[in-house]
Amino acid sequence: MYDSPAEMQLSINASESQVVTVSLRRQAAAGGLENNDAFFEFLQSFHEHNRYLLPNTAGCHSAKEAITTSLMARELFKTNWIKIRSHWRRLHVTTGPISISRICKRIN
């Protein structure tokens, strides 16, 4: 994670990446509202620069949170690209291909 949205912007611009993956939950929790506003404005400008955003579900603690985050990301960024990540071992939720497949079916 970057120290600030500005630092992330500089890094992405310098890399000339065309696809960038980002965790909405982790970023939103990392800074104050002013940082989050700048972060989301930057992400929403991706299409203007021929870049694609790949939101992911990192930071979610359950399949339900992953589904909610995926649906929000799809609507917010007008994309059907979602990277599903599962890190829910502590909560005794089934992880791996079966759980990911169920999440994908729910958001489709």
Query: For residue 98, which amino acid is it?
Result: I
Question: Average model confidence (pLDDT) for the chain?
Answer: 76
Q: Catalytic site residue 83?
A: yes
Q: Is the pTM for the entire model greater than 0.85?
A: no
Query: Which 3 state secondary structure label does DSSP give 35?
Result: helix
Which is nearest to 73 in space by CA: 26, 17, 6, 7? 26
Q: What confidence tens digit (pLDDT) does each residue in 77-103 have?
A: 888 888 887 665 554 444 555 577 777
23-39: per-residue pLDDT in tens? 776 555 455 555 667 77
The answer to whether the beta carbons of residues 38 and 69 sit under 8 Å apart is: no
Q: Collect all residues with Cβ–Cβ distance below 8 Å to 6 and sequence separation of at least 6.
A: 38
Which one of the listed residues 64, 78, 83, 105 is annotated catalytic?
A: 83
